[in-house]
Amino acid sequence: MQKLTVERVIAAPIETVFNWFADTENYSASQAVLQNKLIQPAADVPYGVGAVRKVTWFFGRYTERITTYDAPHKIGWVIESGFPAIRHQGAELNFSEVAGGTRVVLTTTAEAAIPFGADFATRTFGFPVLAAGYRSVLKTAEVAITSPRKAQQRTRQGWLAKPRNYVFDQVLKLIRNIHHLMLKVSGGKWGNKQFGMAAIELHVLGRKSKARRTAVLWVPVMEPGRVVLVASKEGDDRDPEWYKNLVATPEVELTIDGVTTPWLAHTADRAEKAELWPRIVKAYHGFAVYQTRTDRDIPVVVCVPREDVGSAADQAFAAGRAKAASKANEAAASNGAAGATKTAGATKAAGAAKPAAARK
C-alpha cells in the first residue's frame, strides 16, 4: 500500500471550507470529476457517516462510503468498488485553521488491484493521475469559495487578452461542433445528457447576417412551458455570441429530442434570476464557479413556447432549415454517386480479370 497526500490553503473560514467539501456534488465543478452522485444519504446529514456516493472521474468510476464526518475538521471515506480496480484502505480530508485561512489536506492509501507489480503501477501511473484529479478539486474549491480573481488580470491590456480569447473561442467552437455532430448523427441519442442536464439545440438569427445559427447548450431547468439557459461561456468576461444574437432577435427555435419548435426568449430580470439561480446551481454547481471567474453578471435566459409564427424571423429560420436540408441531400447524393462509381469500377475490373484468367 502507498500513501498519497495533496494539500492547499484556502483563504476562508474553516466552516465555509468544510461545508463546501461536505457536499461532494460540488466536486462536479472540477474538470477532473465528470459526475458525483449521492446514491444513499446518511441518517443524520446527507453526506454523513454511512452515506454512499458514486464518483465518476476522468480516469475511472468508483462507489465510496463515508466513514468519518467530524464537522468542521474531518471527512473520511473508503472505496468499495470501481474501475480501474484498486485496493483501498481509506481516504481523509482534514481541515485546520491557519494564518492564511484553512489548510485542506487530502490523503489516501491504496494500490492497484493487479496480480503483480502493484507498487510499481501505483507509483508510476495510478498516483500521478489521482494526484492531478485531487489537486483539480482543491483548486476548484478555492475558486468557488474565494474567487481569487487578480486585479491585474481584469485590467491587463487588450492585446494581451486577445490571444487567450481567440484560443478559448476556438476550443469552445471545436467542442461544440463535435457535440453538434454527435447529436446530429445519432438523431439526438448520443451526448444528449451530461451532469444530469439535457442537451438541446438553440437556433438563433445572426444579429448582422440574419442567417440561422445553432448552438448546443445544457439546460439546467426544463419544465412544461419553460426552458432555462445560462449564458455562462465558462466564466469568460464576454457574453457568448448566441446570447448577443438572441437579445437582438428574441424569436428563436429549440430542438429538443430531435423536434424543432418556435420559442420566445427573454433575459431574466433580477427577481426572476434570484428565483431560478438556486435551481440552476443545484442542477450543476459549475455555473456558480463560472460566476466567480468573471465580474460579468452571467445572464439567465428564459424561453417560452411561441404561437405567433409567420414573422420575418420564422421565414429566415425556414430558409435556414431548407438550406441545411439541401446541403445534406447534396452530400448524400455525392456519397451515393461515389459509392456507385466505386462499385462499377470494381465490377469492371473483375470482368476484365475473368477472361484473362480463362486465357491462361
In whole angstroms, what is the distance from residue 111 CA to residue 95 CA? Answer: 25
Q: Give the per-residue pLDDT at 307.
A: 83
Q: Give the per-residue pLDDT at 358.
A: 45
Same fold for the domain at 2-176 and the one at 193-312?
no
Plot region of 330 (φ>0 → left; ψ -120 to 50 → alpha; else → beta): alpha
Q: Give the per-residue pLDDT at 60.
A: 85
Chain mean position to CA 35: 10
Residue 70 in 3-state DSSP? Answer: strand
In whole angstroms, what is the distance from residue 25 CA to residue 218 CA? Answer: 18
Q: Give the per-residue pLDDT at 236.
A: 81
Among the four given CATH numbers 2.40.480.10, 2.20.25.90, 2.30.110.10, 1.10.510.10, the one describing domain 193-312? 2.30.110.10
**Long-range CB contacts for residues 46-51, cutoff 8 Å, separation at least 24:** 47/22, 47/23, 47/75
In angstroms, what CA-CA distances link 143 with 15, 132, 243, 286, 295? 16, 16, 25, 11, 14
Instruction: Reply yes or no: is the peptide bond before residue 84 cis, omega within 30 of 0.
Output: yes
28 CB-near residues (< 8 Å, 6+ apart): 34, 35, 36, 195, 284, 285, 286
In CATH terms, the superfamily for domain 2-176 is START domain (3.30.530.20)
pLDDT digits (tens, 9 = 90+) for 101-110: 999 999 999 8
Q: Give the per-residue pLDDT at 310.
A: 72
Phi, psi of 190, rounded to the nearest 5 degrees:
-100, 135
The bridge status of strand 197-205 relative to strand 193-194 is: antiparallel
Domain boundaries, the chain: 2-176, 193-312
In whole angstroms, what is the distance from residue 4 CA to residue 106 CA? Answer: 8
> Within the chain, which residues score under 70 in pLDDT?
115-118, 121-122, 147-196, 328, 331-332, 334-360
Place of cell 507498487: 119
